[in-house]
Structure 1
Amino acid sequence: MFTDMQKWAEIRRRVLTGEISKRGACREYGIHWETLEKILTFIEPPGYRLSQPRGSKIDPYMSIIEEILKSDKKVHRKQRHTAQRIFERLRDEHGYSGGYTIVSTAVRKLKQQDKEVFLPLSHPPGEAQVDYGYADVVLNGEKTKVALFVMTLPYSDAICIQAFPRECTESFQEGHVRAFEFFGGVPTRISYDNSKVAVGKIVGNREREVTKEFLRLKSHFLYEDHFCLVRRPNEKGHVERLLDFARRSFLVPVPQIDSLEALNEQLLASCEKDLERTLRGKAASKRELLKEEQQRFLSNPKEQFEAKRLQTVHANSLSLIRFDRNSYSVPTDYAHRSLTVVASVDEVRIVCAEEQIASHPRCWEKEQFFFNPLHYLQLLERKPGGFDHAKPFEDWELPVCFGILRRRMESEPNGLGTREFIKVLQLLERHSLATLTSAVRYALEIGTSSAEAILLILQYQQEPAIDLFCLDGRPHLKQVNVQQTNVSAYQSLLTTNPERCSVS
């Protein structure tokens, strides 16, 4: 077939402009009359065209492939057919004699037909989206997976990201508090997926029964919530896109840190720096657009929101409660009682009838035990023999002076040394370790080693110093003139009656 484009254009020009006749063109260029008609019809060579579609070996099997792909939608995505598996089934079960390539091409085309197309969404100022992601960090030399709380503002493209040990109620609430502080206000509407942290039950396409702690968060900050349809992450695609951006930009290379607090400071600094960027299609930088959004924000409430989770627990015979797979001690008076745990990201507080009875640093590992030795001192008074063997006192590091005091007490002949030392330790229930340490050192210096003497020393050390009497605000006292005492006047007592001064 004639395919020289330069000759094609030349023949068309000469014939259609009347420079030469059709017969002359056929003779001069040595082409067939039908070829000339095709050149005059098309502005460029149309290529080879079949008069009828060519048949394919896969055509009789297309309905089978469509049925397989349709049934795959009802099973777990990790157990769906691959193109290789479809090829094997066509060959073994249906007698297909063609190759794998034509099968994979057919499967790919059918899957492309099923891909959903979405409408670009408009995002007014003042709205936000929230999501969680995960990333690896090196925490204290050990590779650790952390949960990333992300809040974004689609209008300005601003982002706030914070790392937590786990996705849970406490980190969810704390993430909101930090994001609102970073953005300088509360968005009017926030979109979420259907995480169990916020959603207790799905009762319709858009209706949700939310958790009590999520309601408390909403009630405090007064924003409107919006939950995406199930398996429709495109409804909050902005936050998912920025989460991927933040992971690649803020957490590559893998951060090596000493604490999550240090990592979160770095992440906030990166988010702050990112506000200087201007995106394609945006009229101003992220920071300038954020200032526009702040005009639509709700104000942060004056009352501080406490990110916490409440849980009822029971203290066992060892004065331990179990929370989040770890055990924490409480005073022995509260053994065998129902208590309430108030857990935040950093602390676990145990409450009984609205009175806090214990607190411990939050542990995010599992099957760990945390003892406060002070919780067992009252029991130790009745069971002094367990002082050297009880687990709560195994790793209790006291200043050296306490060891010296115990040895002195135990050397006393009355045999009450250990009990007396326990009474000294019980003073820690009302006094700080630093204050008691000062009193113990002073007791050792003056050679006393009883618990009563140390208590007197504590009381003496804590008595307020006597200040000079101030005359400010007392104008009537300023008129009183008190003369200085003449000490020599007392000498007359010695001269008038010397017998009274004699020493018997």
Structure 2
Amino acid sequence: MIDGATTTVKVAHVRLCHSRMLFVRVYPRETQEMVFDAHDNAFAFFGGACARGIYDNMKTAVDTIFVGRDRAYNRRFQQMCGYYLVDPVACTPASGWEKGQVENQVGVVRRRFFVPRPKFKSYAELNAWLEDRCVAWAKANPHQELRDRTIWEVFQDERASLVPYVGPFDGFHAVPASVSKTCLVRFDKNRYSVDGRAVGRPVEIRAYAERVEFWQDGKIVGQHARAFGRDKAIYDPLHYIPVLARKPGALRNGAPFRDWDLPSAIRRVQRKLGKVPNGDRQMVQILSMIPIDGLDAVDSACAEALNEGVPAASVVINILARHREPPPPLTIDTPAALRLTCEPVADCNRYDSLRRPNHGKITGAGRDEPAEALRHEGRLR
């Protein structure tokens, strides 16, 4: 039971052959990006990866089955194995004994973890609970061969032999798509919003197990938590700011803005601007500052404008601009060893003294001679 509804889930099973340490994780589907996510969470849980992996001939990993154990693995699956330094080995079709540990684990997990039917609000809550159950199971059950030790104790010794965990693999499933005039992209029977400036050009969808990203020209133009089901429209109101610049009236009744939970100060400014002419356009100008300064900064600027009694777009933008200015430089005290004993005095009259003759003589002419004598002799240059 997930969020009050009976749900059929797909459970990824992983098990270390030596210690028999198990790991299970639940997903709504058995797609390639979810297989990648299961590997990453399993290796992070174990603290490392195994040097050799025994796999069933699942379509998310194997493209073609040849004679014997020869397989044509999926390109992305090979990239994942190369990233974690895992050597994949495929089982013979219809030979469950070749991966008997996992085959037996399926029944054990079903009986021990899913009977009676568990109830959770989300997949994340269920997976966290399953991870705790895996640890509790390993600590409470003895190893099948080393009967005097538990599975958890053997697993602690095996960790030193694992390939070090290097972080998550960028395991996404990429497909091209087009953007509709309403800034929506259809993927997996649902629609997601993207930046209004991306309309009219194709995007690349990168689907992960828990999120969806939309890329265009090497930049992310949209990102959402992944939705399952069908015919859902997932909006990000900030994606429609460029559209509001042309149609500010859509802010009142547009579908992307109906459930927009704005902070209290911004909401109060919106109510006040709704009573003045050109108020929608001023509100759009304020909202357009959120991608630049952040939601909290805009909310603080609106609160300051309300306190001053001038809830206008020009005032809010001015407050944000002032807060954006760098702080004044720090005053550094001069050490005593570097202080001047006789500080210079700024006196411009010293320059005027160079224009006045010094008692009829020119200083620096080689020797002091009257100026008149130098002029007559032509020696003054």
- 2:43 corresponds to 1:193: no
Equivalent AA in structure 1 for residue 281 of structure 2? R
Tell me the alpha carbon deviations over residues 393-436 of structure 1, each in whole angstroms, 9 at most, x when there is no partner. 12223244445434544544xx4222222212211221222211
CA distance in 2, matches of 1:182, 1:405: 48
Which residue of 2 is the match for residue 360 of structure 1? 224
Provide the aligned C-alpha RMSD in A.
2.6
SS of residue matched to 1:322: strand
Tell me if 1:233 matches 2:96.
yes
| Inter-CA distance 447–227: structure 2 relative to 1 (3 Å threshold) | same
**2:179 corresponds to:** 315
1:50-88 Cα deviation digits (max 9, x unpaired): xxxxxxxxxxxxxxxxxxxxxxxxxxxxxxxxxxxxxxx
Q: TM-score, normalization: structure 1?
A: 0.62
What do the CA deviations read for 1:214-272 (whole angstroms, capped 9, x no partner)?
11211101111111222222321210101211221122222222222222222222222
Change (3 A) 1:299 1:441: closer
In 2, Cα distance between the equivalents of 1:267 and 1:406? 45
Shift of 1:455: 0.7
Residue in structure 2 matching 1:254, options 77, 93, 117: 117
Kept in 1, the 8 Å contact 2:207–2:213? The answer is yes
Paired with 2:131 and 2:259, the residues of 1 have a C-alpha distance of: 37
| Superposition pairs of residues 280-295 of structure 1, within 5 angstroms | 280-283=144-147, 284-295=149-160
Q: Indicate the residue corresponding to 2:19 in structure 1.
A: 156
Larger Cα-atom Rg: 1
**Rounded Cα–Cα distance in structure 2 between residues aligned with 1:390 and 1:434:** 24
1:342 paired with 2:206, answer yes
Mapping of residues 52-131 of structure 1, within 5 Å:
none
Answer yes or no: is the 8 Å Cα contact 2:212–2:225 preserved in 1. yes
> Mind listing any 5+ residue stretches in structure 2 that lack a counterpart?
342-381
Q: How does 1:196-207 map to 2 (within 5 A)?
A: 196-207=59-70
- Shift of the alpha carbon at 1:307? 3.1
Give me the whole-angstrom Cα distance separating, in 2, the residues matched to 1:408 and 1:181.
51
Partner residue of 1:455? Answer: 317
The letter for the 1-side match of 2:163 is: L
1:182 aligns with 2:45: yes
| Match 1:211 to one of 74, 78, 82 | 74
Counterpart-to-counterpart distance in 2, 1:160 and 1:326: 31
Query: Which residue in the other structure is 1:376 paired with?
Result: 240
Shift of 1:198: 0.9
Are 1:244 and 2:134 matched, yes or no?
no
- Identity of counterpart residues, as a percentage? 27
- Give the paired residue count: 341
Q: Distance in 1 between matches of 2:189 and 2:31?
A: 14
Under a length normalisation based on structure 2, what TM-score does the superposition of the two structures give?
A: 0.81
Task: Give 1:73's aligned residue.
Answer: none
Separation in 2 of the partners of 1:291 and 1:398?
49
Q: Contact 2:19–2:143 (CA<8 Å) still a contact in 1? A: no
The alpha-carbon deviation at position 292 of structure 1 amounts to: 4.7
Residue number in structure 1 paired with 2:138: 275
Residues 206 and 371 (structure 1), Cα distance of their counterparts in 2 relative to 1, 3 Å cut: same
Letter in 2 for 1:426: S
What CA distance in whole angstroms lies between the structure 1 residues aligned with 2:229 and 2:58? Answer: 22
Seen in structure 2, the aligned counterparts of structure 1 residues 179 and 404 have a Cα distance that, compared at 3 Å, is closer
CA–CA distance in 2 between the matches of 1:140 and 1:364? 13
1:300 partner amino acid: Y
Q: What per-residue deviation string (whole Å, max 9, x for no partner) do you get for residues 136-161 of structure 1?
A: xx222222222111111233222111
CA distance in 2, matches of 1:429, 1:281: 59
Q: How far apart, CA to CA, are the structure 2 residues paired with 1:293 and 1:408?
A: 65
Q: How far did 1:295 drift?
A: 4.5
Give the alignment partner of residue 222 of structure 1, picking from 85, 90, 93: 85
CA distance in structure 2 between the aligned counterparts of 1:289 and 1:411, rounded to whole angstroms:
71
Counterparts in 2 of 1:405-444, with a 5 A limit?
405-412=269-276, 415-444=277-306
Which residue in 2 is equivalent to 1:76? none
Bigger relative contact order (CA 8 A; separation at least 6)? 2
Instruction: Pick closer, same or farther for the CA change 1:150–1:470 going to 2, 3 Å.
Output: farther
Task: Between 242-251 and 326-335, report the one with greater CA deviation.
Answer: 242-251
Q: 1:467 deviation in Å?
A: 6.7
How big is each residue's C-alpha offset from its partner over 1:427-450, in whole Å with a ceiling of 9 and x where there is no partner? 122122221111112212223243
| Paired residues of 2:32 and 2:60 also in contact (CA < 8 A) | yes
Aligned match of 2:34? 171
- Cα drift, residue 476 of structure 1: 6.4
Q: In the aligned structure 1, how far is the partner of 2:269 from the partner of 2:131? A: 50
Deviation at 1:475, TM superposition (A): 4.1
Any gaps of 5 or more consecutive residues in structure 1?
1-137, 482-504
Partners of 1:293 and 1:403 in 2: CA distance = 57
Q: Whole-Å Cα distance in 2 between the matches of residues 156 and 411 of structure 1?
A: 70
Who is 2:351 aligned against?
none
Question: How far apart in 1 are the matches of 2:63 and 2:322?
Answer: 58
Are the aligned partners of 1:188 and 1:296 in contact in 2 as well (CA < 8 Å)?
no
Higher helix proportion: 1
Counterparts of 2:11 and 2:312, CA distance in 1: 55
Deviation at 1:334, TM superposition (A): 0.7
In 1, distance between residues paired with 2:31 and 2:337?
Answer: 66
SS at 2:146 equivalent: coil
- Equivalent in the alignment of 1:13: none
Equivalent residue of 2:213, what SS?
A: strand
Aligned to 1:298: 163
**8 A Cα contact 1:319 1:336, kept in partner:** no
Find the residue that maps to 2:48 and give its secondary structure: coil
Structure 2 equivalent of residue 21 of structure 1: none
Residue 346 (structure 2) aligns with: none
Partner amino acid for 1:437? D
